Structures are given as structure tokens and as C-alpha cells.
Copies of this chain bind each other. A is one copy, B any other.
Amino acid sequence: MKQFLSVQDVPSISTMLKEVDEIKKTPFVHQALGKNKTLGLVFLNPSLRTRMSTQKAASNLGMNVMVLNVGQESWQWEMADDAVMNGDRPEHIKDAARVMSQYCDIIGIRCFPSLKNKLEDDQEQVLSQFVQYCEVPVISLESATRHPLQSMADLITINEFSPVNKKPKVVLAWAPHIKALPQAVGNSFSEWMTAAQLDFHIAQPKGFELNEQFTPNAILHHDLNSAIKDADFIYIKNWSSYHEYGKLYDGDKTPWLLDSDQISSLCPNAKIMHCMPVRRNIEVKDELLDGAQSLIYKQAQNRIYSAQWVLQQMLQSHLS
């Protein structure tokens, strides 16, 4: 595996799920793979789950880890090609990427979108340049348009809690928020649900449809109640408008904040999912997050194993 930027980099979903199952049973058996190998984790944005779960995964594999908080600990990066660098960004991303390639065997990078320049975000300006110049395998720790380690952990969790002998119905349900958030989690989750060929639905207010590129096979709804009918999994998540790029929702939020009565009456067995951090009682009510059907901490736990699977693939192909 030369890179892990989206579901496209996974040769077989079903093989991956089986291998993850093995990793969870015996997480420490492949430490010879990671011996004297170094993982660099580069953060242009805050992180808790990604930061800690990926470190844990690397430790499980016997790797060394170096963390770099760009801008806090190091120099801000210039992104523009051919830039005359006379501003407040003293190092070019191409130099940073090439230099770090000398020190690391694998590099993970987190780079959120601006939510201001749609074209640059769609083109993954930061990630794509980093990948272009980096000479070792790159893992996306969430980029402008995708969060593949999260989506992979989500799919692992869905696989573990799916009803027997039934293709599960999965609903990605837009939820209110107080800030304009990226579409990355929604996009990425859509891609992975599509790749896993599940019965996949998305509910969102009009004008808050995701970029169609990520949702070719999703069934779209503008009404939450009809969308979640008989759902097995409801993945709750906010995103800002893609079409009016970065716009915060200013309509009526009430119909978009789920409660346990709706779950009981419409989809009594539905599991509740969220990638976190979650603004409690704004995006999701406490009664759902803390209820028996919540899977949010299982998702967080599976972040270790999605990262560990990716690292293991890279270490193995590195050796071969």
C-alpha cells in the first residue's frame, strides 16, 4: 500500500474486515514489522482521537512515532507553487514534505479545508501537494474532503453490530451545529458505505446535499423521519453547505435534532453513531449518546484498528 487517502486505496473491503478482526484479537504479534521504522504525524489542525489512536496503533506495531504540530512547534507552510515567499509562511510545503520523507518511513497528515476557497478545497490543495512531494507512503488523518481512517473505523463498527442475515440500512443524518464544519466526514462515510454496498441513505436540509461525486448510490432525503424508518444505523453529523460553499444552516433546526421517541417509534433497533467531537444537545441529545444503542465509543476504539491495518499494509509492502 503506497498511500491511504480514500477507500480507493483498499483493494478489498471484505478482506480488510477479516484482517482487522485478526488484528483485534492479537494486536501485538507484528512488532517485528515496525522495528526501527518511524511514523511521522503532522497536524495542521487539532486532534484527539486521530492523534492518540494512530500513536497507539504504531506502538502496537513496534514503530517509533514523532508528532509535529505545524505552526505551533514548527514553521507555517506556504502552499502556492512558484510562490515568492515574502509573507508570513517561511517554509514551503514541498520542502517540508521532502525533508520529513528523509526522517520517516510513513507520514500521516491532517489538513482541514479552508471552507472559503471551494476549488482549492476540492482539489485537496494541501494533501495533494504533500503527497506529490513526499517520498514515503502518506496516510490522510483527515483532509479537506475526506476522513478515511474514521470511515474505515465506522465500517468496522457497522460490520460488528450488523443484524444477521440482512443488508443493514444505514442513514447518514445531517444535524445542527453552531459553526460551519467541513463535509469531509460525510463525504468519506458516503464513499465507504457505497463501496461496502450497504443500503445507504442520507437525510439533509435542502441546499445541504453533499458533493454528488461522493454519493452516487446514496438515496437522498430531505425529511429526517422518513429517512430513518427501519434504519439499523443512524450516523449523525453536521456539515456546512457544499453548494453555497461553507454556509452555516440558518433554517429551523428543530426537525433535525433527533430524540429517543423518534428512534423508538421509527427504528427501535437503530444504533447511534457519531465520529466525535460531538456538541451534546446541539448535534445529538445526551439520551441518544449515552443510551444503550450508542456506538460512539466503539467507533473511537476501532480507530486504533483502522490505523493499525493501514500501517501494517504499508509496512508489509515496504518489506516486499
A interface list, Cβ under 8 A from B: 28, 36, 38, 40, 43, 46-49, 51-53, 55-56, 59-60, 64, 66, 68-69, 72-75, 78, 82-86, 90-92, 95-96, 98-100, 102-104, 178, 276-282, 286, 289, 296-297, 300-301, 304
Contact = CB atoms under 8 A, between A and B. Distances in A.
Q: Closest 10 CB pairs between A and B?
A: A91-B277, A85-B279, A102-B301, A48-B74, A84-B281, A59-B64, A99-B300, A52-B103, A56-B103, A90-B277
A215 to B, nearest CB: 26
A78 B286 CA distance: 14
Contacts of A304: 102-103
A280 B92 contact: yes
A85 B48 contact: no
Contacts of A279: 85-86, 90
Contacts of A95: 276-278, 280, 289, 296
Where chain A touches its partner, the secondary structure class is: mixed
Contacts of A92: 278, 280
Given A48-B91, A68-B51, A102-B300, A83 B281 contact: yes
A66 B55 contact: yes
A60 B38 CA distance: 10
Contact of A83 (B75, B96, B280): B280
Nearest to A96: B48
This chain: how many copies in the complex?
A: 3
Given A66-B52, A102-B300, A297-B102, A280 B73 contact: no
B99 A49 contact: yes
A279 to B, nearest CB: 4
Contacts of A83: 280-281
Nearest to A92: B280
A38 B66 contact: no
B276 A43 contact: no
Nearest to A47: B74
Given A276-B91, A277-B91, A103 B46 contact: no
Contacts of A43: 73
Contact of A82 (B47, B78, B102, B281): B281
A97 B138 CA distance: 29
A75 B48 contact: yes
B48 A68 contact: yes
B73 A52 contact: no
